[in-house]
Structure 1
Amino acid sequence: MRHLVIAVISLSLTGCGVVYHPSAVRPGVSQQAKVRIEPITANTLMAANAAPYTPRRLPAAFNRTAGLGAGSIAAIAPPVAALERPTRPETPARHLPPPLPARPYKIGVGDVVLLATPASSPTADPASAGAARTSRQGYRVQDDGTISIPNVGRIAIAGLTVGDAEARVFKSFLDTQIDPAFSLEIAEFNARKVTIGGAVGAPSVVPVTLQPLYLDAALAAVGGTGAVDPASASVRLYRDGTLYQVPLSDVYQNRGAARLQLAPGDSLFVDAGFDLDRAEAYFRQQITLAQFKQSERGARLDALSQAVALRRAELTEARETFATRLTLGAEARDYVYLTGEVRTPARYPLPFEQTASLADALYDAGGGIPVARANPKEIYVLRGSDHPMEYDAVTAWHLDARNAAALVLATRFELRPGDVIFVAAQPVANWSNVIDGLTPSLLNSSLRAATN
């Protein structure tokens, strides 16, 4: 009975003229084109990829930032020229300050000095005799730069080194006929400080003591830089009206940058991602509090802020305009086309600034190769000739993927604008398409004829 049904269906197809014509790539010369089939192998892959092609580039607005360039704020003019940056924003510019000369610490307002003098009264307790031999008293340096010692008076020591201050106190003791047996040291360092903010664990101030304060130690004192990318982060140092910049990667890798000595009054800002709004707010605060009281410098910083905002708005508008034009199809794009037995016949846009492979198009835009319908033996990339006298010449680059290892070649085969990717159907799929073309009434009539 099964053979009879098949025979009836075949006769019905012949009588009704139902014929399925599958697409295929055939070599030779036809009315449309001259087709030459070339297998894709490790040897021919280089020839296929040798076709000249330069991927389209994104507009320049995508390769620029509104970042603050290194250099002096006072020298920022004009704003547009000052905001020019390298083409790789992830590598901040390096602009280190000159080395600091070796200078001893000078006592300042707010420091607490400690005077250790012999005890005025003996003690009968041997256990506490050692502690009673000296009396230690701390004195804070007042706003006028002096300390006030009972029975001695006010002594000006601000701006003096520890040795010079000790000599002046010694003289004052002698002038008041007091035993000058004492020692002087600094108990609290409050006058000389470095301010640190930005992407650090705990933004605060770090005192400058008798020992030099280096950049790595200062960052460690505020909890480190946290989870930031050293390749794009930088440490901005403001000193004496000049802005310097140290890439954070230099701090981690270059011992010279890590051992950069800081000076009292320095302001540091760790910029983790070119967040200039935070940097601007930080430096504005420093200007308001201590460093920038001159109106001219404030006006220049305002001009810099406005220039950065205008630059950022210009770049944002240019990028949004490009994205809108791209969506509306107003920007030129390069495409390849997928047809045949792919899951989704489509027009695949080639990416900007890089090439795409045959595998990219098949498994991205085409959705992969359907095993039930596609013939892995017959995968083609049809590429026309660019020569004016050979517009009808087509090279069909043929990939036989019956061995799945051949798909590695698909990841290395570079596509060119106008390529057509064609996947042929399996023979069983051709027969399925024939069956799908029959109407239910034709099948029913054929079956009734067979049973009668």
Structure 2
Amino acid sequence: MSRQVFGSLAVIGTLMLSACGVAYQSPSVNPMTGGADSKVRVLEITPESVMVANRSTYSPKELPGVFFATAGGGSTPRGAGAAPEPVIDYQNRPGALETRVPPALPELPYTIGVGDVLLLATPQVGSTVEQLTGLLAASNARQGYTVQDDGAIAIPNVGRVQVSGMTLEEAESRLFQRLVENQIDPTFSLEVSQFNSKRVSIGGAVAQPTVAPITLTPLYLDAALSAAGGVTAQDLDYASVRIYRDGTIYQIPLRELYSDRSLARIQLTDGDAVFVDTEYELDLAQAYFAERIRLAEFQQDARVAALNELTAEVNIRRGALNEARDNYMTRLELDSVDRDYVYLAGEVGEQSRYPLPFGKTASLADALYSSSGVPTRTGNVAEIYVLRGSPDPREFGALTAWQLDGRNATNFLLATRFQLRPNDVIFVAEQPVTKWNRVITQITPSLINTAAAQTLN
């Protein structure tokens, strides 16, 4: 059979089969134009129509609270006193951290403690000639004395004088009495030259962790953070300043600290531990405060058992959380979790269903490129549709076809802003030449078989 005859048979066969409606059927979006019975509306995706489409209400499904819970917090360890109460609710990730402010301290004068250095100044004694020349008229003998372990300072010709726990005024009165008893001129002045007995430690997200002394002037929270070089936390969403005092953890969100001046003026006391934490979980703070607790274990052995019990409880809770998370992931793999899906059909990389993510919305571009995008060889980029049904159950057959014309590549930017909703269908039509090639591919074997049979006859 000649090539011209074969080509004529192909054309005639194609026309005949097409007329019968059996040559090739492919899906397409066919809106009914005009009339009140129109069920399909085709709307071009434009910046304005994207705003209209995104107005529909939708709340993405959330991961279960076990994915936001931590192993910190728990019951009171036996035999070790009250443990720090949980700072935050671990059921779900909160919108903002809770503010827990320590109680106000009473205004008391500074009391001398072990390790402080006291400076005792007495008049300098000189010769009559020197006094007349005025060379020593304003000179004083200044001597420093360290408060020793027993709370006393040792002064030559006077002996040991107990000063620990006294204010400067009380210490001066005690020294005056001892000088008089030893027949020494009681003309002197007393001051603290080195403050070593009362300290506050500052650590975490600060420029330089340090230990700040408490002096005659009260030490406030802002001054303590400045002494450590300031806060270095960048993300303020879950950054907080935690204060460990007398077995209790207090918490001040960093945003609240910056906006409320009264929080910056929280007075600190001896033994406070300040920790700037940048994490939602308490792991870093727990390690820091555990270190502070271990320092006290030299004086209280019962803390060892308390820490072991707390660690065991944390490990048990962490294991339970990991098991719950693994079980959920297994259910997710077995498709036994209620999910929202979008379906991809037509000329896409792979016809499939796209699960909408947890906790956020997905765009048309997210779904398209999760399936390798639109194959430009077969797909008609001018006819990319998002088919969305009416939320009204009385209008089950009514739907809107949002059309994206990808011939202008800049329109794909709109695809990144078009939000998807559950049960949307993304459909990409085929190119006209693709449809023709598929028709030819289907009828060619039949024509060849027919021609071969005629040749044999």
Shorter-chain TM band: 0.7 to 0.9
Alignment-derived partner of residue 14 in structure 1: 11
Alignment-derived partner of residue 31 in structure 1: none
Q: What CA distance in whole angstroms lies between the structure 2 residues aligned with 1:127 and 1:174? A: 30
Q: Is the 8 A contact 1:64 1:89 kept in 2?
A: no
Alignment-derived partner of residue 199 in structure 1: 205
1:272 paired with 2:278, answer yes
Shift of 1:90: 6.8
CA RMSD of aligned residues (A): 4.3
Q: 5+ residue gaps in structure 2? A: 18-22, 452-457
Alignment-derived partner of residue 25 in structure 1: 29
SS of equivalent to 1:218: helix
Classify 1:74/1:87 alpha carbon distance in 2 versus 1 (closer, same or farther; 3 Å). Answer: farther
Q: What CA distance in whole angstroms lies between the structure 1 residues aligned with 2:298 and 2:442? A: 84
Q: Is the 8 A contact 1:380 1:397 kept in 2?
A: yes
Q: What CA distance in whole angstroms lies between the structure 2 residues aligned with 1:111 and 1:311? A: 45
Alignment-derived partner of residue 375 in structure 1: 380
Shift of 1:187: 1.0
Q: Is the 8 A contact 1:74 1:297 kept in 2?
A: no
Alignment-derived partner of residue 244 in structure 1: 250
Alignment-derived partner of residue 307 in structure 1: 313
Alignment-derived partner of residue 108 in structure 2: 103
SS of equivalent to 1:137: strand
Q: What CA distance in whole angstroms lies between the structure 2 residues aligned with 1:409 and 1:277? A: 42
Shift of 1:420: 2.4
- TM-score for both structures, normalised by structure 2: 0.77
Amino acid at match of 2:41: E
Shift of 1:256: 1.3
Classify 1:269/1:409 alpha carbon distance in 2 versus 1 (closer, same or farther; 3 Å). Answer: closer
Classify 1:88/1:334 alpha carbon distance in 2 versus 1 (closer, same or farther; 3 Å). Answer: closer
Amino acid at match of 1:37: V
Q: What CA distance in whole angstroms lies between the structure 2 residues aligned with 1:215 and 1:413? A: 48
Q: Which of the numbers 151, 157, 161 marks the counterpart of 1:155?
A: 161
Residues 178-234 of structure 1: CA deviation (Å, up to 9, x unaligned) = 222222111110111112333333333211001110111112212333345332122
How many residues end up aligned between the 2 structures?
A: 430
Alignment-derived partner of residue 65 in structure 1: 70
Alignment-derived partner of residue 40 in structure 1: 43
Q: What CA distance in whole angstroms lies between the structure 2 residues aligned with 1:274 and 1:131? A: 64
Residues 302-333 of structure 1: CA deviation (Å, up to 9, x unaligned) = 54443333333222222222223323434333
Classify 1:288/1:369 alpha carbon distance in 2 versus 1 (closer, same or farther; 3 Å). Answer: closer
1:395 paired with 2:392, answer no
> Which has the higher mean CA deviation after the structures are superposed, 230-239 or 257-266?
230-239
1:422 paired with 2:419, answer no
Classify 1:106/1:53 alpha carbon distance in 2 versus 1 (closer, same or farther; 3 Å). Answer: closer
SS of equivalent to 2:153: strand
Q: Which of the numbers 290, 304, 308 marks the counterpart of 2:296?
A: 290
Amino acid at match of 1:307: E
Residues 165-188 of structure 1: CA deviation (Å, up to 9, x unaligned) = 122212222221122222211111
Q: What CA distance in whole angstroms lies between the structure 2 residues aligned with 1:269 and 1:109? A: 26
Amino acid at match of 1:268: V
Classify 1:299/1:236 alpha carbon distance in 2 versus 1 (closer, same or farther; 3 Å). Answer: farther
Q: What CA distance in whole angstroms lies between the structure 2 residues aligned with 1:287 and 1:395? A: 65
Amino acid at match of 1:105: Y
Q: What CA distance in whole angstroms lies between the structure 2 residues aligned with 1:138 and 1:410? A: 77
Shift of 1:147: 0.6
Q: What CA distance in whole angstroms lies between the structure 2 residues aligned with 1:68 and 1:131? A: 66
Q: What CA distance in whole angstroms lies between the structure 2 residues aligned with 1:66 and 1:178? A: 65
Q: Is the 8 A contact 1:83 1:308 kept in 2?
A: no
Classify 1:155/1:389 alpha carbon distance in 2 versus 1 (closer, same or farther; 3 Å). Answer: closer
Amino acid at match of 1:92: L
SS of equivalent to 2:426: strand
> Which has the higher mean CA deviation after the structures are superposed, 116-125 or 54-63?
116-125
Q: What CA distance in whole angstroms lies between the structure 1 residues aligned with 2:192 and 2:252? A: 32
Alignment-derived partner of residue 449 in structure 1: none
Q: What CA distance in whole angstroms lies between the structure 2 residues aligned with 1:54 and 1:149? A: 77
Alignment-derived partner of residue 176 in structure 2: 170
* Percent of aligned pairs with the same amino acid: 48
Classify 1:275/1:125 alpha carbon distance in 2 versus 1 (closer, same or farther; 3 Å). Answer: farther
Shift of 1:260: 0.8
Shift of 1:300: 5.1
Alignment-derived partner of residue 118 in structure 1: 123
Shift of 1:438: 9.3
Q: 5+ residue gaps in structure 1? A: 29-33, 447-452
